[in-house]
Amino acid sequence: MSLTTIILEDHPMFAAGLKDLAEHLLPGGKVVCTNNLQATLSLMDEFNPLLIIADLNVSDAKGLTILESISDKSGDAIIVGFTGDENFLNAYNNQLTQEFLILSKVEPFECVVSTLSRTLRQSEFLNSEVSPQLDFQQLNKVAEGELTPKQKEVLKLMGLGLSNKEIARKMAVSPETIKTHAKDLFGRLGVKNRTQAASVFKRFAYS
């Protein structure tokens, strides 16, 4: 098994968002995107992925058939379904047993990050091979002094949902100063935006 994520999604914008999410959750891992089930199954032979994130409505398959086909091919991968069909999701979650993890496409980003982070931390592969480097990489950067006190405060306030202007007022500095702190903060944590930075705060509870 490799530190690879395969994303099955035929909507370009949503695929790009999932790619960013996978890169955030598994820094240093490879992310491969496809838009149909058959290509996904072929890529599984090539990459032996750790994580597969699949839209449940693509051109050549729909619903649980997608997850079942992926599971039959590789029972070891972590398989996560995404759907925009709330009726389908509610019906599935009301079943007595749920074989797969299926998330809503309208779920808040922070909730998706939290759920997938928890799922990844339960992976035997990550626990035995790379979890110390991945699970606590960003937390260690905070704990080991790689962030300045000001950057820590900005991270905390981002995690609480404050805008740059609100953070500036609270810290009694200019919005431009907050932008500078944020840019340095993103670079040190290896994240791309304030949403990802906020998820670091929420994921580790800043402790």
Query: CA-CA distance, 182 to 176, in Å (whole number)?
Result: 10
Pairing mode of beta strands 49-55, 57-58: unpaired
Query: CA-CA distance, 129 to 76, in Å (whole number)?
Result: 15
Q: Provide the whole-model pTM.
A: 0.64
Q: Which domains does the chain have, with CATH numbers?
A: 2-135 (3.40.50.2300), 137-204 (1.10.10.10)
Query: CA-CA distance, 103 to 14, in Å (whole number)?
Result: 14
Count of beta carbons in the 10 Å neighbourhood of residue 164: 18
Per residue in 9-41, pLDDT (tens digit) is 999 989 998 998 888 778 778 999 999 999 999
Is residue 138 very low, low, confident or very high in pLDDT (cuts 50, 70, 90)?
low
pLDDT at residue 206, as a whole number: 37
Residues pairing with 103 in the sheet: 82
Count of beta carbons in the 10 Å neighbourhood of residue 108: 9
Structure token pair of residue 187? 């670079």
- Residue 202, classified by CB atoms within 10 Å of its CB into exposed (0-12), middle (13-18) or buried (19+), is middle
